[in-house]
Amino acid sequence: MRHALFIRATTPLLLLAVVLWSAFWFTAPASARSLATLVVSTCDESHLDAAITQATNDQANDTITFACSGDIPLTSTLVIKASMTLDGSGQSVTLDGGGHVGVLSVNSGVQFTLKALTVANGSSSGNGGGIYNSGTMTISNSTIANNTTAHNAGGIYNNGGTVNISNSTIANNAAPSGIGGGIYNLNGGTVTISNSTIANNHAQADGGGILNEGRTVTISNSTIANNAADNGYGGGIYSSATLSIGATILAGNGGSNCSVFGTISPDLGYNLESGTDCGLSGPTSQQNTSPQFQGGLQNNGGPTQTIALQPSSPAVNHIPVNTGHGCITGGTDQRGQPRPDYFLLLLPESTCDIGAYEVQGELLR
């Protein structure tokens, strides 16, 4: 009897506790929830899909990391429907379209970061063999390579979104029946490229490396080389919108380094072009000048491939330190090497090199 009375007496208190706990749980602000880190332990499509699905359900800008290295063959495009980060740091992971599917598609309104990963062998019957972006995308320390499309943009198709690329390589992508081999920016989109290499891409028509029909493309401290527009214009860059370039090498592009309606606006200075196609007008920029590459696109250290410079290159030691243009004390080049570098690996220099690659420890000329 006493036990029964105790239950009846405490039941209201228990109910009140449950109600208060439920109210707190279901009304707690989303910001109070800590961001999750989801780990892909096995490098295959099913484990990656599961992590992306979990991040999508969380709606909390989760970070997906990898505890494995390897190639992940895809049977369908990875569609990014919620804000998240894919981070391959410390591993070597390739998202592989296998020549059958586009690799990534980023929805409008989504903030997506791709870090230290390779997007390769994508193939799209539409646009964007490697990446189709309509959101806000950040790419760093990554490689977008060997992707192709039946229409436009072998590498990256930016459909009115925002793409920020740093310390990355966009290479060997193709639009064999269309335009924009490496990157195609359109519909009011914005692309910013820094400390990166755009090389060996090609399109059947215009814009072998980059085609800009969007709002703005801004390029700094980068190397745009050996791209081609097979039967069109702008082997390196074709632009009918705003194009700004600084501290960048443009050389060896088939079908002209640039095809620009008007002039580059503005020429941010300290550029080097092998011809005069780009209409560079800044007093610190060089035209009709060979950059004196040392080999082609290859592994020169760091997480991504680059094109090295000979120590005698006119791009070497051309930008004064701490005057902007990416030449700042404590800076780095695409590989993560010091920019400015050190004379004889001992004394810090007072100038930086043009392009994505900083020659290390060269003799003063």
Q: Tens digit of pLDDT for each residue in 263-305?
A: 788 899 999 999 999 999 999 999 999 999 999 999 999 999 9
Give the pLDDT confidence score for residue 363 in this predicted structure: 58
Choose among 223, 219, 225, 251: nearest CA to 325.
219
**Spatial CB neighbours of 65, under 8 Å, sequence gap ≥ 6:** 37, 38, 39, 40, 87, 88, 89
pLDDT at residue 14, as a whole number: 39
- For residue 346, the model assigns a pLDDT of 73
| Strand extents, DSSP E, 61-127 | 62-66, 70-73, 78-80, 84-87, 93-96, 104-106, 111-115, 118-120, 123-124
pLDDT of residue 86: 98
| SS3 state of residue 132 | strand
- The pTM of this model reads 0.90
In this prediction, residue 34 carries a pLDDT of 55
Domain boundaries, the chain: 39-273
361 CB burial (10 A radius; 0-12, 13-18, 19+): middle
Residue 265 confidence (pLDDT): 83
47 Cα distance to chain centroid: 24
Query: Which residues of the chain carry a pLDDT beneath 50?
Result: 1-33, 364-365
CB-CB contact of 173 with 155 (8 Å): yes
CATH number of 39-273: 2.160.20.10
